[in-house]
Amino acid sequence: MTYKILRRALCSSSYKKRPQICIVGAGPAGFYAAMHITKKIDSVNIDILEKLPVPFGLIRYGVAPDHPEVKNVINQFTKVAQQPNVNFYGNVTLGKDINLQQLRQHYDAVLLTYGAEEDKTLGIENEDATNVIAARNFVGWYNGLPSDKDLKIDLSGKTAAILGQGNVALDVARILLTPIDELKKTDITEHALAVLSESKLKEIYLVGRRGPLQVAFTIKELREQLKLKNCRTIWNENDFVNVEAVVPDLPRPRKRLTELMLKSLKEKQTVTDDSNISYFKPVFFRSPHKFLVDAKKNLTGIELVCNKLVGENLEQQKCVPTGEKEVLDCDLAFRSIGYKSVKADNDLALNHGFVENNNGIVEDTHPNLAKLYVAGWLGTGPVGVILHTMGNAFQVAKVMCEKLSSMDEQNRGGFEEIKKVISEKNANIIDWNGWEKIDQYEKEQGKLRGKPREKICSVEEMLEIAKK
Ligand code: FAD
Ligand code: NAP
């Protein structure tokens, strides 16, 4: 911090004239964009505003606790944040503490990277029943997201169904089926460990509306699932009719994934009485039609409609109902059919759950305000791994750099001006130094329990520690 202040004082004459850039959202898209811009333009000032007191978005609150290697990107982001011309301002929410127009008045460019914070819903009967849970909330709960820490989940039943066949669905299945002693070594929250250690779940269905050739999960994640200790995978042979015949013509990633499913199918695992074994049961060609409940609105099952596929291109085939229905009895259901972005500010228009843009540029009718850009899941929709998000953020940052280099010299006030507006409503802005205190505290707490970290799950507590 001292170094930062010193550097800034030394460059103060040129600092005033630096383009002032605001990035909203401290997830991968925000950090990768900042990384690219600071590499390409020397004299720039970047302020990253983040709703939570802590950075890293879904790296901290989405990526599964048993995937620590994925979280290593945090080291790169930390280096970005420690540059003298990059500032982190946590606990600042666009749409609450500040609005878009104010940001665009006081910065030379504004980049929105605030992700996709809601989940898609099915819109079917009894979706609000007890024990119908959004995968997004379950993920937030085991990862310590403050807004999800009080999630009510009952794992006393034998059967759960996960609706959707993407990588989030596989994360949920794996966390439910992994032996508790293995989870204990990760940064999973203590409240989740306590509940998971009492789990009575024995079988988990993974329900897809299309077939094995259209699954959205990827090979690495399936392989991990198939290798879980004390867990057997039971496929339904009827779901794989004609699949083997088309394998040679499939594009490579899909081919390898399908070959792995076929190999696992041929291993023919069977259900036994062994109480130590749990079962993972993917089922295909089934769409949820209605959640079934008892008189107290507790979940008892799901009515599924059976589908067939239509269309030429195998991977793009659509499902249509056959008219047949069946019931899957279960005690717990997770909806895992994707995320969607929210409209954080009235000046924004969302279409199909993301902000429309042209190469990252958001077209609008305010020529006197700073140009507006969008990157990451907010601009692409909620798809893609960190690598895709990185590619998109770099591409948008490149466009921003081109525009900034051809812009007349500006002298906008940046955070100095914004701070006046924010502090009227919020006296608790957390800087990088504050995050480092939280980080250190969490690591110390984790060490006491033999874990890499024990996350603080309350915003109030985070603020207290950061302000010490
Ligand atoms: P986010 O990571 O969501 O970051 C957005 C940031 O904006 C957050 O910090 C949020 O708090 C902040 N914000 C939100 N609203 C506001 C506001 N109004 N004002 C200010 N700030 C705001 N990819 C992999 O490669 N490997 C994995 O193992 C993996 N696991 C995943 C697990 C899950 C459950 C999910 C959902 C995704 C996973 N991904 C994984 C994908 C990866 O997380 C995304 O590609 C990436 O996080 C998208 O980055 P982003 O910056 O667009 O959004
Ligand atoms: P996703 O990959 O888009 O998968 C969504 C699943 O829900 C698909 O199977 C989809 O089926 C199904 N679905 C959508 N609408 C439905 C409906 N109305 N009824 C029934 N099923 C429906 O989304 P995600 O799992 O949330 O993952 C988001 C992104 O994060 C993905 O790019 C994923 O790879 C990434 N991620 C990566 C990791 C990792 O690398 N380990 C972990 C988690 C997430 P259709 O195909 O038929 O639409």
pLDDT band (50, 70, 90) for residue 269: confident
pLDDT band at 4 (very low <50, low <70, confident <90, very high): low
Taking the centre of ligand 2 as the mean of its atom positions, its distance from the CA of residue 92, in whole angstroms, is 30
* Atom number, ligand 1, closest to the C-alpha of residue 377: 52
What does 169-193 look like in DSSP terms, one character per residue? HHHHHHHHHS-HHHHTTSS--HHHH
Please tell me the distance from the alpha carbon of residue 39 to that of residue 393, in angstroms, as a whole number.
14
Q: What does the domain layout of the chain look like in residue ranges?
A: 2-117+342-430, 118-339
9 CA to centre of ligand 1 in angstroms: 34
Higher pLDDT, 273 or 130: 130
Tell me the C-alpha to C-alpha distance, in Å, between residue 361 and each of 30, 65, 344, 394, 398: 15, 35, 18, 13, 11
Question: For 231-258, what is each residue's pLDDT tens digit?
Answer: 999 999 999 999 999 999 999 999 999 9
Q: How far apart are CA 18 and CA 46, in angstroms?
A: 10
Q: pLDDT per residue over 411-456, tens digit each? A: 789 999 999 999 888 889 999 999 999 999 999 999 999 999 999 9
Average pLDDT over residues 77-100: 97
Paired strand residues for 293: 299
Which ligand has the shortest distance to the CA of 90? 1
First to last CA, the chain: 16
- pLDDT tier at 272, thresholds 50, 70, 90: confident
Cα of 116 from ligand 1 centre, angstroms: 7
Residue nearest to atom 43 of ligand 1 (CA): 58
- Percent of the chain exceeding pLDDT 90 equals 88
Fold of 2-117+342-430: Rossmann fold (3.40.50)
Starting from the CA of residue 221, give the closest ligand.
Answer: 2
- Contacts by 14-18 with C-beta closer than 8 Å and gap 24+? 14/43, 15/43, 15/45, 16/411, 17/43, 17/409, 17/411, 18/43, 18/44, 18/45, 18/85
Sign (positive/negative) of CA torsion 137, 139, 140, 141?
A: positive
What is the domain class of 118-339 according to CATH?
Answer: alpha beta
Closest atom, ligand 1, to C-alpha of 378 = 52
Is 231 within 8 Å of 218 (Cβ atoms)?
no
Nearest ligand 2 atom, CA 215: 9
Phi, psi of 63 (to 5 degrees): -50, 135
Q: 408: which DSSP letter?
A: P
Task: Give the nearest ligand 1 atom to 376 CA.
Answer: 52
Q: How buried is residue 63: exposed, middle or buried, by Cβ count under 10 Å (0-12/13-18/19+)?
A: buried
Question: For helices 386-405 and 28-40, what crossing angle results, to 10°?
Answer: 40
Q: Is 281 in the pocket of ligand 2 (CB under 6 A)?
A: no
19: DSSP letter: P
Residue whose CB lies within 8 A of the most ligand 2 atoms, among 225, 286, 337, for a mutation test: 337
Give the number of C-alpha atoms closer than 13 A to the C-alpha of residue 295, restricted to the C-beta side: 0
Q: Which ligand is closest in space to the CA of residue 141?
A: 1
Handedness of CA 414, 420, 425, 431 (dihedral sign): positive
CA 4 – CA 10 distance, rounded (Å): 10
Question: pLDDT band at 409, cuts 50/70/90?
Answer: low
Say whether pLDDT at 83 is over 60. yes
User: Which residue's CA is the nearest one to ligand 2's atom 1?
Assistant: 166
Residue 266 has pLDDT above 70, yes or no: yes
pLDDT, tens digit, 9 for 90 and up, residues 110-164: 999 999 999 999 999 999 999 999 999 999 999 999 999 999 999 999 999 999 9
Ligand 1 pocket by Cβ (under 6 Å)? 24-30, 49-52, 57-58, 62-63, 67, 70, 93-95, 113-115, 117, 139, 168, 171, 339, 344, 376-377, 384-386, 389
For every residue of 337-374, which 3-state class applies, written as one string? CCEECCCCCCCCCEECCEECCECCECCCCCCCCCEEEE
Pocket test for ligand 2, best of 72, 138, 167 (most atoms within 8 A of CB): 167
Calpha distance 160→315 (Å, rounded)? 27
Q: Say how far apart CA 65 and CA 175 lie, in whole Å.
A: 9
What is the pLDDT confidence band of residue 281, given thresholds at 50, 70 and 90? very high
Rounded to whole angstroms, how far apart are CA atoms 380 and 360? 9
> In which residue are the tokens 């699954």 written?
215
Over pLDDT 70: what percentage of the chain?
96
Report the candidate in 202, 200, 261 with the shortest Cα–Cα distance to residue 236: 261
Say what the pLDDT of residue 305 is: 98
